[in-house]
Amino acid sequence: MYAKRLDNLPPYLFAQIDKLKTEKRAEGVDIIDLGVGDPDLPTPPHIVEALCEAVRDPSTHHYPDYTGMIQYREAVASWYKSRFDVDLDPKTEVLALIGSKEGIAHVPEAFVNPGEYVLVPDPGYPVYKTSTLFAEGKVWEMPLSEENKFLPDLDAIPADVLKNASLMFIGYPNNPTAAIAPLSFFNEVVEFARENGIVVVHDNAYSEITFDGYKAPSFLQADGAKEVGMEMHSLSKTYNMTGWRLGMAAGGEEFISGLGRVKTNIDSGAFDAIQRAGITALTSSQQSVADACKVYQERRDILISGLKGLGFDVAAPKATFYVWMKVPDSMSFARKMLDEAGIVVTPGTGFGRNGEGYVRFAITRDTNRISEALERMRRIDF
Ligand SMILES: Cc1ncc(COP(=O)(O)O)c(C=O)c1O
C-alpha cells in the first residue's frame, strides 16, 4: 500500500518517544519531559494581541501571498539589518515559511537531482536527512565530534562525493549538540561551497537563545554567503511560537526563488493573521527574548551543576535550550531515565549514529521540575 520511499525513512524518534511517554502516563507515572524542544513559556502577550486583532479583520481570511505578505518580508529584512547588519531585498531575498521545518523539508526538491549527494551533519536535526531521501538524493553524513567542537571537518569529505554533491545543511547554534560556530567557520563554508558548486542552507533557528552575553552570528554575515545559499530562520524558538508555524528563508535571490517555486506548487502560504502577528514580534521590543534567555540560563545552571554533582561529564552551552551530555550508551541511558525516574531525555542516536554516547536534555521545564529530575536521578544507579 505504501510507496517504497516511506520504507527508506528512518523512524521519527520523537514520535516513538511520544508513544512511550503516553504509555507511562497511562500507568500513572508523573513524567518530567526533557525531550522535545518546545518552549514551555507562553507567546508574549503583545504578539497574541496582534493576532487577535488581525484575525478579526476579514481581509486576512483569504489565500495569502505565496511568498509572504510584503510587510512581513520587510519586517524580516529590517530585523536582519538591526540584528545582524545584513542587507536583504524583501522582494527577492526573503520568503515566508510555514515554520522553518517546512522550508528545510522542501529545499532538496529544488536543488537536488535523484542520486546527488546532500552533505548532512550527523548528529543533526532529522529533517535534513529525511528531506534528502524524499527528493531521492543520497545522504553523506558529516560527523560532528567533540574534538572538532562539533563542527564538520570539510576536508574529510571525499573528492568523489564532492563531485556529485549539490547541497549542504549546517546549523549553529546547533541542535542537538548546543555547539556554536564562529563567523570564520561560515566564511570557510562559503569558500568551500564556491569551490565545489554546492548550495548551502544554514539553519539558524536558535540564534536568539544565547547566554553569558554571547551573540550568535548569521550565516549571511559571511562574505559572499548570498552567492552560495540561504538561511532558514523561525519565530518558533525566539518568541515561543512553535505552534503558530511561521518562519522565513533569507538569502541569495536564486535560492529563495528555487524554494519558492517548489512551495508555490505545494502550499498556499502562511495565514496572513499569523504573519501580521509575526510583524509585531519582529518589529516591537525584544525584551521578551532577553527575559526568556534569562529563564533558560538559570535552568541551564541548575541542570549543569546538578549533573556535574552526579559525576557526569557535561559542559554548559552558550546557546540553545539543550544540554548535550556524554553517557556510556545513549539508548540504555534514556530507557533507564524513563523506566526508573520517569524522565524523558532524547538518546543521541535519534539524531544520527554519531550521536551515540550522548543524550540531549531540553531545558523546557521550570526550575522546580529540573531540580525534581536531578533529585530522581540521584536515586538511579547508573
Ligand atoms: C535545528 C532546528 N531547525 C528547525 C526546526 C524547526 O522549527 P520550526 O519548524 O518550528 O520553525 C527545529 C525545531 O525543533 C530545530 O531544532
Cα separation, 197 vs 179, in Å, equals 26
Assign 3-class secondary structure to the chain: CCCHHHHHCCCCHHHHHHHHHHHHHHCCCCCEECCCCCCCCCCCHHHHHHHHHHHCCHHHHCCCCCCCCHHHHHHHHHHHHHHHCCCCCCCCCEEEECCHHHHHHHHHHHHCCCCCEEEEEECCCCHHHHHHHHCCCEEEEEECCHHHCCCCCHHHCCHHHHHCEEEEEECCCCCCCCCCCCHHHHHHHHHHHHHHCCEEEEECCCCCCECCCCCCCCHHHCCCHHHHEEEEEECCCCCCCCCCCCEEEEECHHHHHHHHHHHHCCCCCCCHHHHHHHHHHHHCCCHHHHHHHHHHHHHHHHHHHHHHHCCCCCCCCCECCEEEEECCCHHHHHHHHHHHHCEECEEHHHHCHHHCCEEEEECCCCHHHHHHHHHHHHCCCC
What pLDDT shows up at residue 362?
98
What pLDDT shows up at residue 272?
98
> Per-residue pLDDT for the chain (382 aa), expressed as one digit of tens each?
899 888 888 777 777 788 888 999 999 999 999 998 999 999 999 999 999 999 999 999 999 999 999 999 999 999 999 999 999 999 999 999 999 999 999 999 999 999 999 999 999 999 999 999 999 999 999 999 999 999 999 999 999 999 999 999 999 999 999 999 999 999 999 999 999 999 999 999 999 999 999 999 999 999 999 999 999 999 999 999 999 999 999 999 999 999 999 999 999 999 999 999 999 999 999 999 999 999 999 999 999 999 999 999 999 999 999 999 999 999 999 999 999 999 999 999 999 999 999 999 999 999 999 999 999 999 998 8
Nearest CA to ligand 1 atom 14: 37
Q: How far is the CA of 177 from the centre of ligand 1 (A)?
A: 14
Query: At how many degrees (to 10) do helices 330-341 and 13-26 cross?
Result: 20
Q: How far is the CA of 242 from the centre of ligand 1 (A)?
A: 8
What pLDDT shows up at residue 198?
98
Closest ligand 1 atom number to CA of residue 234: 11
Class for domain 45-285, per CATH? alpha beta
Positive or negative torsion for Cα 235, 240, 243, 244: negative
Cα separation, 237 vs 281, in Å, equals 12
Instruction: Indicate the top mutation candidate among 17, 97, 125, 351 to test ligand 1's pocket, ranked by most ligand atoms within 8 A of CB.
Output: 125
User: CB within 6 Å of ligand 1 — which residues?
Assistant: 37, 99-101, 125, 171, 175, 203, 205, 234, 236, 242, 247
Q: How far is the CA of 260 from the centre of ligand 1 (A)?
A: 19
Nearest CA to ligand 1 atom 3: 205
Q: Where are the domains of the chain?
A: 4-42+287-378, 45-285
Alpha carbon 206 to chain centroid, angstroms: 6
What pLDDT shows up at residue 11?
75
Instruction: Indicate the top mutation candidate among 130, 201, 234, 364 to test ligand 1's pocket, ranked by most ligand atoms within 8 A of CB.
Output: 234
Nearest CA to ligand 1 atom 6: 101
> Which triple of cell numbers denotes residue 158?
571525499
Q: How far is the CA of 95 from the centre of ligand 1 (A)?
A: 16
Q: How far is the CA of 12 from the centre of ligand 1 (A)?
A: 14
Q: Does the pTM exceed 0.85?
A: yes
- Which amino acid is present at 324? W
Indicate left, alpha or beta for 372 from its phi (over 0: left) and psi (-120 to 50: alpha). Answer: alpha
Class for domain 4-42+287-378, per CATH? alpha beta
Q: How far is the CA of 67 from the centre of ligand 1 (A)?
A: 20
Closest ligand 1 atom number to CA of residue 236: 10
